[in-house]
Structure 1
Amino acid sequence: MDKQQSIKTLNKFLQGLYMGDHSYGHFIKKLQDSPLKESFISIQQDQKKHAARISERIQILGGTPVTSEGVIGKVEGVIGNIFEKYNTDEEIVKHAIKGENIYGIRMSEDLVRDKLDEESLRLVQEILDQDREHVDYLKSLLHS
């Protein structure tokens, strides 16, 4: 696999991680008086760790990691916050599940398919597995 292709793909994946980090930050603000706040902080910390691991991998490959979600990510975040109203804990959890499933996992799987070297793919798969664990955990919150 071409190093430049891996770097480019990892940077796009990294932008998605930054979007997730910012989304969880928004959720945490809305959960100020909620017992769920700590759980969301923990997931956000995982997002930050994932971003650091991907940044390190990009550097190992000789690239320069992006430092934000990019213009498109910022626009999508603003639009999402304007049009998607969620105020209750349950609505916030459902929105987080939707974000993790659609943007965090499915779109990332499509993004990296056949575009990464073996080691980078293994790292991304580890991160996506942890995202799946987050989804399972968030779903469990709906049923508790």
Structure 2
Amino acid sequence: MDENLIKVLNSHLQGVIMGENEMIKLKEKVKDYRLKVLIDNTLLTIEEHKKVILNEIEELNGKAVKEEGIFGKLVEIFNSIKEMAIDNDKQILEKAIKGTEMGFKAILDLLIKESNFHEHLEKSLIKISDMYSGHIKEMQEYLITIN
């Protein structure tokens, strides 16, 4: 069992969980049907992202975290305060784009920093980053159309 790799994966998983929680909060505020669909699609990718990391931790005989951790909780509280001012779909969409970009960048950072992943995990993470990229593009295109 590679303790260091499990620690890195759990840290990454905490970020994924935090991102998922934030995206769910944003979805609860959405009025526009198309935006709900875009956020739902992103949530499906986040779920796949979580599953890939959880499976890898299991394969390494490690124990996966179940929540975002203390730092993540503090960030969530801070974001909740900031999100009180968000009151329209355009602002929600902008926040969703930013959050999805963070997930995309987190995967790239993980792949750059950790070179000892097996090929299957690397391919899965690249596939998920491509999915995030697609969601970002769709959301950006939709952002142009909303007022």
Whether TM-score is above 0.5 comes out as yes
Q: Check the 8 A contact 1:100/1:135 in 2, yes or no.
A: yes
Partner of 2:118: 118
**TM-score scaled to structure 1, two decimals?**
0.85
Hey, what's the Cα distance between the residues in 2 that align with 1:14 and 1:27? 20
Hey, what's the Cα distance between the residues in 2 that align with 1:39 and 1:104? 15
The reply on whether 1:61 has 2:64 as its aligned counterpart is no
Hey, what's the Cα distance between the residues in 2 that align with 1:46 and 1:78? 24
2:92 corresponds to which letter in structure 1?
I
Identify which range, 8-17 or 112-121, moves more after superposition: 112-121
Give the CA RMSD over aligned residues: 1.9
Partner of 2:96: 96
**Gap change, CA 1:112 and 1:48, over 3 Å in 2:** same
1:54 corresponds to which letter in structure 2?
I
Structure 2, gaps ≥5 residues long: none
Hey, what's the Cα distance between the residues in 2 that align with 1:81 and 1:108? 24
How far has the Cα of 1:5 moved from its partner?
A: 2.7
Q: Check the 8 A contact 1:3/1:117 in 2, yes or no.
A: no
Identify which range, 103-112 or 56-65, moves more after superposition: 103-112
How far has the Cα of 1:111 moved from its partner?
A: 4.0
Identify which range, 7-16 or 33-42, moves more after superposition: 33-42
1:125 corresponds to which letter in structure 2?
I
How far has the Cα of 1:112 moved from its partner?
A: 4.2
Q: Check the 8 A contact 1:9/1:112 in 2, yes or no.
A: no
The reply on whether 1:6 has 2:30 as its aligned counterpart is no
How far has the Cα of 1:12 moved from its partner?
A: 1.4
The one-character-per-residue Cα deviations of 1:61-86 (angstroms, maximum 9, x if unpaired) are: 22111111111111101101202432
Partner of 1:131: 132
